[in-house]
Structure 1
């Protein structure tokens, strides 16, 4: 059974003893087999994500949801169940601020059929991109105050209401809190305007300019509670001329931001990429993808001289 055929159960709440045992016992008693379980605690907030095979469950879907909701109330945690077959298309929730290029690229890809998904909702912390969403007949919600600070409780309600399979940060210029990240662990993809791990945080193009880099780039990565340190999915690079201004770097980088974000979204939706020990890796049948630079770079990269045939002077450098 593939990952997309498994039912996903997410448990989030205050950390307490016995949470895992209570939930897994309930599933065992209803004939549900746990295929994968991941759990973490951050700042006393507990998150557990399970992928289970419910095909031979002794209860129907609504009964299971009701039983887990009742257990969640008893444990004072939030329990959510997502069945993979409840709709045909995978659904995106796209989070934005004021830059339109990534949102427009994703909307165009969905509208043209280039991306096999639907956009359930666009959520902004400013109202600026409402016209873009409405041009594609996608609901838009502004959850930001006058300064753009988002109401994350409202954001969580919207993500639940539209039942997002994947949360896409299309130049969303805010840090998501752990309450959001933990609920959607492994299902939030961000685009960052640098070749991470270089230049994390704000004003990455300016950081690159001030550092005098000769090659700059962009990165699509999964979001974790550590800022810009989540598993990298794909990267693209471009030349940074000596006389380049910050605006020059932005003009060169923004089309690649849209390109690499779309590529990462496609990889995720196709289940062609997996996270293992904090890194992403392509699944066996995804050999057609090129996550870094293309074949032209391989041809231009010299293959000699090397230290082949000599003892490794410092194995720690490997």
Structure 2
């Protein structure tokens, strides 16, 4: 979704006529729908729209009130985000116990590299509360004694801190559709493998057991399908013959932090777009400003020949020259 369009999200129990009633309200107010996407998962309906409110025949506050009233009538939750409300972007970071990704985000924020504010850190354990306090950022623990999060409390906090982007900085819990649907295309996760290889838990152990020579990490948008969201950035590293799982983790963690930070910057700069399960750089974004995959040095080290047909074409050309000489 581009920053000059208003974003509308509808979440609730699936029922007939939801799309028609919402779109009819928009049409009556002179609002043009630029993009619409809807899905149902586990009986929960989600619709996201990008709409042009430039020529609408009502005020922003009236539109928000009318949509909320319609949502109450239909038994669904309707959220509206106007472009002016997204000028100062706020990040909510979700964590468990590992600190390296959160630390990288804090350092970039402290150095004014993000162009956004880290508004809150939310954990399902309290281990990283001291790190958040060090940077003066509120910390909330929404987990029980076993680390199971209270997602209602999580959603309340995301709303309270007006989160524009949710970053899973090694948050070791699966978000339900109730959360994912509300922040569609606004949740970024870091996973310790070169997805789609080795999704799910214990990815470094999976890589070790499968005997891969190259392992890596992936930053991606979160969808309701585990570790299958659109890939934003990836990093890779060699796996020595005698490497333990702990060694893979030590090699991977700095790359996790780097890839996640790069993905966050791409999103905040509106430089990346997700469409039909893939991401691409938006028009105007300079690919030289970002490292989406391999470093340039690694890419340059890869051979560029032979390729199918080239050797044959050369041989045929030489044969033709010899015939002409005869």
Q: TM-score, normalised by structure 1?
A: 0.94
The 5-angstrom pairing of residues 187-226 of structure 1 reads 187-226=186-225
- Relative to structure 2, which stretch is displaced further, 289-298 or 44-53? 289-298
Matches within 5 A, 1:290-305: 290-305=291-306
Match of 1:135 in 2: 134
User: 3-state DSSP class of the match of 1:58?
Assistant: coil
Distance 1:104 1:158 in 2: 21
- Structure of higher CA gyration radius: 2
SS state of the match for residue 110, structure 2?
A: helix
TM-superposition CA deviations, 1:35-76 (whole Å, max 9, x none): 111111112211001111222222222211111111001000
Match of 2:152 in 1: 153
Please give the secondary structure, in 2, of the residue aligned with 1:249. Answer: helix
- State the secondary structure of the residue aligned to 1:92: strand
Cα deviation, residue 133, structure 1:
1.1
Q: Answer yes or no: is 1:42 the counterpart of 2:41.
A: yes
* Secondary structure of 2:132's aligned partner: helix
Cα-Cα RMSD: 1.5
SS of residue paired to 1:37: strand
TM-aligned CA deviation for residue 87 of structure 1: 5.5
- Using the TM superposition, give the Cα deviation of residue 294 of structure 1 relative to its aligned residue in structure 2, in angstroms: 1.6
Q: Give distance in 2, aligned partners of 1:304 and 1:292.
A: 21
Partner residue, 1:261: 260
Q: Given the two structures, how large is their TM-score scaled by the length of structure 2?
A: 0.92
Deviates more, 1:185-194 or 1:47-56: 47-56
Tell me, in whole angstroms, the C-alpha distance in 2 between the residues paired with 1:197 and 1:245: 22
Question: In the alignment, is residue 306 of structure 1 matched against residue 274 of structure 2?
Answer: no
Deviations 1:162-203 (A, max 9, x none): 111111000000000011111111111000001111111111
The Cα shift of 1:308 comes to 2.5
Would the aligned equivalents of 2:114 and 2:268 in 1 still touch at CA under 8 Å?
no
Aligned to 1:280: 279
Instruction: Give 2:248's aligned residue.
Output: 249
Q: Mean Cα displacement is larger for which, 301-310 or 115-124?
A: 301-310
In 2, the alpha carbon distance for the partners of 1:29 and 1:267 equals 36
Deviation at 1:214, TM superposition (A): 1.2
What is the CA-CA distance between 1:119 and the residue it aligns to? Answer: 0.9
Offset from partner CA, 1:235-277 (integer Å, 9 cap, x none) = 0001111111111111111011000000001111111111122
Deviations 1:78-110 (A, max 9, x none): 001112212642111110000011011101111
For residues 212 and 113 of structure 2, the distance between their equivalents in structure 1, rounded to whole angstroms, comes to 34
Contact in 1 for aligned 2:93/2:167 (Cα 8 Å): yes
- Structure 1 stretches of 5 or more lacking a match? 311-318
Tell me which residue corresponds to 1:314.
none
1:316 corresponds in structure 2 to none
Q: Residues 86 and 164 of structure 2 are in contact (CA less than 8 Å); yes or no, is this contact kept in structure 1?
A: no
The structure 1 segments of at least 4 consecutive aligned residues displaced by more than 4 Å after TM superposition are: none
For these two proteins, the number of residue pairs brought into alignment is 310
Q: How far does residue 206 in structure 1 lie from its aligned partner after superposition?
A: 1.0
The answer on whether the counterparts of 2:11 and 2:45 sit within 8 Å (CA) in structure 1 is yes
Q: Give the stretch that moved more between structures: 29-38 or 137-146.
A: 29-38
Aligned twin of 1:173? 172
Q: Does 1:184 align with 2:188?
A: no
1: CA distance, partners of 2:105 / 2:37: 30
Determine the C-alpha separation between the residues in 1 that align with 2:13 and 2:132: 36
Please list every run of 5 or more consecutive structure 2 residues that lacks an aligned counterpart in the other structure. 313-326
Q: For residues 209 and 18 of structure 2, what CA distance do their matches in structure 1 show?
A: 49
Which residue is equivalent to 1:29?
A: 28
Secondary structure of 2:189 counterpart: strand
